Amino acid sequence: MTTINKDEIQKFSSLAEEWWDVKGKFKPLHMFNPIRIEYITQMIKKYFKISDEKINPFNELKILDIGCGGGLISEPMARLGANVTGIDASEKNIKIAQIHSEENNLKINYINSSPERLKEKEEFDIILNLEIIEHVEDVKLYIDSCSKLLKKGGLMFTATLNRTVVSYIKAIVGAEYILRWLPIGTHDWNKFIRPEELEKELSIANFKTIEIKGLEFNPFNKKWRKSDNLSVNYIICSSKI
């Protein structure tokens, strides 16, 4: 059994060299990144009771970034002092991430792997699943694999897209066909997962939901913000019990 969808891996491998081009194919992710980082760091500090005044606040935390791509989230976490491991099923993505982190003098452990193949059981304090679960082959196996890698009491952030009419219009018709923010075919609406479906799978794998937040794009200032609207993008912060 595997979580790897070869078609999805090939899709992102073909774009690998554009990961750090803020005007390239991954421009939407670069625009999305600030709100993701803000939310994740706030929740980590609150959960682990870390002072805002602490230098390198995450220096005692081990973070696993699954589906790390070129390292857009791994690098900010490493700069905050965390011991970061980034994994991706695309070897090309990992090579791009390694080169970029070395150029920026960041020590990040990048591995070409999927979560079910990792040996580090109950090793990590935090797992980041950001815009990856809608691309995996087997959601149940994927979440079970994450649970085995996370320490008891650890945090997991799962960000994905809701399966609604609104998400089809905005994330596929709008983002891919009209605005051309993303290559056509980036997303398959049928693989989007509703929050209640994801919460159920997380609960089965011994996760308890702490908070669910929507992430909305403001077309006027062209920035993302946190919201209670879960109709398109949302993120679940959960702990392993």
Least confident of 12-26, 60-74, 87-101, 109-123: 12-26
Where are any strands of DSSP class E within 81-147? Answer: 83-88, 109-112, 124-130
Does residue 187 or residue 44 have the better pLDDT? 44
pLDDT at 181 over 80: no
**Dist. CA 19–CA 139, nearest whole Å:** 25
Q: What predicted TM-score, i.e. pTM, was given to this entire model?
A: 0.93
**Dist. CA 153–CA 238, nearest whole Å:** 10
Least confident of 24-28, 74-78, 120-124, 191-195: 24-28
Question: Per-residue pLDDT averaged across 64-78, rounded?
Answer: 97
**Dist. CA 194–CA 45, nearest whole Å:** 27
pLDDT at 157 over 90: yes
Least confident of 13-27, 38-52, 129-143: 13-27
CATH number of 6-240: 3.40.50.150
Type of residue at 136 = V
Question: Per-residue pLDDT averaged across 224-236, rounded?
Answer: 96
Question: C-alpha distances in angstroms, 76 versus 37, 87, 113?
Answer: 8, 16, 21
- Closest CA relative to residue 75, chosen from 132, 126, 37, 23: 37
Max mean pLDDT among 116-120, 172-176, 179-183, 199-203 falls in 199-203
Question: C-alpha distances in angstroms, 179 versus 64, 125, 149, 174?
Answer: 33, 38, 38, 6
Domain spans in the chain, listed from the N-terminal domain onward: 6-240
Question: Per-residue pLDDT averaged across 115-119, rounded?
Answer: 94
Q: To 5 degrees, how large is the angle CA 95–CA 118–CA 43?
A: 85
- Closest CA relative to residue 219, chosen from 181, 163, 184: 181
Share of the chain above pLDDT 90, in %: 78
Question: C-alpha distances in angstroms, 94 versus 40, 145, 157?
Answer: 23, 20, 21
- Bridge partners for 158 per DSSP: 129, 236
Phi (first) and psi of residue 160, to 5 degrees: -160, -165
Share of the chain above pLDDT 70, in %: 100
H-type helices in 150-205, by residue range? 165-167, 195-204
Phi (first) and psi of residue 184, to 5 degrees: -60, 130
